[in-house]
Structure 1
C-alpha cells in the first residue's frame, strides 16, 4: 500500500461521503491531514475517526468555512502551511447538486453550483501551485461520470463536472514541467449524502434504498460504489506508484462509462 508518512494532504468537502472516505483512507496511510468542510461538528467527527485510524492531534487540522470565499481559501492554505510547513496533495472534492430541469434553473442556482463545483477548485488549485511546485506534489480532482455522460435534469451539474475534467487536463500540461501531476477521479453512483441532501425524494431512507437498487443495474459490475472505492483510487493517483500518470480522467464507476447515457437522473 502507498505510504504517506510525513506527507500533507488537504481534502475539501471532508465532512461526509466521499470526502470522509478519502480522509479516513489517507489517515490509515499515515498522512498529515488538513480537512475542510462547511459543518464543524461533522468535521470533528471525521477527525475523531481519523484518530481511530492511527493519527494523533498533531497530524490533523480541521477548518470549517465556505470554500467559495476567497478569504476562506486563503486562510485555509495559510493555516495548512503554518501547521505542517508543506503541502503534498490537494484533493478537490467539495461539491453539490441541485436537481432542476433547464427550464426551471435560476441564475442563483446556476451560480451556486458552478461556484461550488468548479470555480472554488480552480482558484484553490491556483493558490496551491507554489507549495505543490516546492514539494513536487500533485492534485486529484473529484469529478463525476456526469462530466462526460449527459444526464437529464442535472445539466448544470454535468457542465460543472465537464469543466473539472478539462481543467484537470489543462492544468496537468501547465504543471508537468515542474514535476507536479494533476489527475481526476470520476465516480459512478456512490453511497453518500449528496443525493439525499438535495433531492427531496431521496431523504426518505426507503426511497433512497430503492434508488440504489435501481442504480445497480446501470453499472456493469452490478453494484453501486462506496466512498472507499474512490478513496483507494485517489490514494493511488496521489502516490509515487502513479509517478508517470498525469492528465488522467479515471472512471471509478463499475464500468458505467462504457454503456449509453440514461435518460433518467443518475448521479454520484
Structure 2
C-alpha cells in the first residue's frame, strides 16, 4: 500500500516541520498519541504531556520502536497553570515554542437531571480551562517569532449529543475560545485553529461503538462509514493527525480561527428525506449499478 493510502503514515507530499518544537497535551493515548507521532514523523521535536508518567513513557517507547521519532515527556495536569507552564518550558528551545496542540480532554456522560456541579466541572475544567491555560503558556513562548496552536474539539460542539451535555457544552466553549484566541493572537504572528474529530478508533471510541445502537447511529450519520477496505465506521486517529500537521505547517500560513471537521461527514445536518426510490424509478439501471440497496 502506498503512503497516501495508509492513514498511519504521512504521504510523501505532506508538509514538513523539520526542527520545530512542539507540545501535545494528552499526548500519551488515542488521538493525542497519533498527533505526536505524526508531528515527529514530519520532523518536529515533540514533547508530550499528561498526568500519568507511565502512559507517557509507553508512548515514547512505542514511537521509537516504530521508527517515527524520539518523543520527550513532561508530566503535567493541564488544569494546573504552573504544571502546564513547565511543560511548555520543557518543550521549548531557547525559550521559544513553535507548535502547541491542546488535545487533552475528558467526557462525562449523564443526564441534565443527574449531573452534579462536580460532574460539570470535569469537562469544563480540562476541556475549557485546560485549553485556555495551554494557549496562555504556549502563546507566551511564541511571542518572539510566532507559531501555531491547534485545539482539538469535537463534532459534539455543533451536533447535540443526548446525555453528553457537559461534554458538548465544553467543546462548544472550546470552539469559541479558539476563535477568540485567533483574533487576539494574530497580530503576534500566532495562528490558532481547531480540529473537530468525529467517531474515531480510540479506546473510548471503540467502546462506545461496541453497542448495536451506536453502530447503527454511526453508520447512518457518517457518509464515509465503511467506505474503506475494512467495514469499519470509525475513523483512524491518523486522519486527525494529518489535519494537525497541515494546520501547524507553513501550508496553512494564512489560516487562523478555523474549525476543521475530520469526521467522515458526520457533522453534516441530518438529511430531511431520501428520494432514492424516485431516482430508482427514473434511472433503474444506473442506480442499480452505482448504489447498493433495494431495486
TM-score (norm 2): 0.79
1:264 corresponding residue in structure 2:
none
Q: Which has the larger radius of gyration?
A: 2
1:169 corresponding residue in structure 2:
179
Per-residue deviation, residues 248-268 of structure 1 (Å, max 9, x unmatched): 11011111111339xxxxxxx
Counterparts of 1:75-154 in structure 2 under 5 Å? 75-81=86-92, 85-154=95-164
Note if 1:27 corresponds to 2:40: yes
From the superposition, tell whether residues 53 and 213 of structure 1 become closer, same or farther in structure 2 (CA, over 3 Å). farther
- Give the Å deviation of 1:133: 2.1
Q: Which has the higher contact order (CA 8 A, sep 6+)?
A: 1
- Name the stretch that deviates more: 6-15 or 133-142: 133-142
Q: Which one of 216, 231, 245 corresponds to residue 235 of structure 1?
A: 245
Q: Flag the structure with higher helix content.
A: 1
Note if 1:71 corresponds to 2:82: yes
Partner Cα separation in structure 2 for residue 239 and residue 95 of structure 1: 23
Q: Which one of 73, 78, 81 corresponds to residue 62 of structure 1?
A: 73
Contact persistence 2:198–2:264 (CA under 8 A)? yes
Counterparts of 1:114-263 in structure 2 under 5 Å? 114-195=124-205, 202=207, 208=210, 210=212, 213-214=215-216, 215-222=218-225, 223-260=233-270
Contact persistence 1:143–1:165 (CA under 8 A)? yes
Aligned length: 249
Partner Cα separation in structure 2 for residue 168 and residue 115 of structure 1: 16
- Give the Å deviation of 1:75: 1.7
Contact persistence 2:50–2:56 (CA under 8 A)? yes
Partner Cα separation in structure 2 for residue 120 and residue 148 of structure 1: 20
2:283 corresponding residue in structure 1:
none
- Note the residue ranges of structure 2 that are not aligned, 5 or more in a row: 1-13, 226-232, 272-295
> SS of 1:246's equivalent?
coil
From the superposition, tell whether residues 80 and 47 of structure 1 become closer, same or farther in structure 2 (CA, over 3 Å). same
Per-residue deviation, residues 48-89 of structure 1 (Å, max 9, x unmatched): 222233424xxx3201232211221122122223x6642101
Partner Cα separation in structure 2 for residue 66 and residue 40 of structure 1: 11
Q: Which runs of 4+ in 1 moved over 3 A?
A: 209-213
- Note the residue ranges of structure 1 that are not aligned, 5 or more in a row: 197-201, 262-268
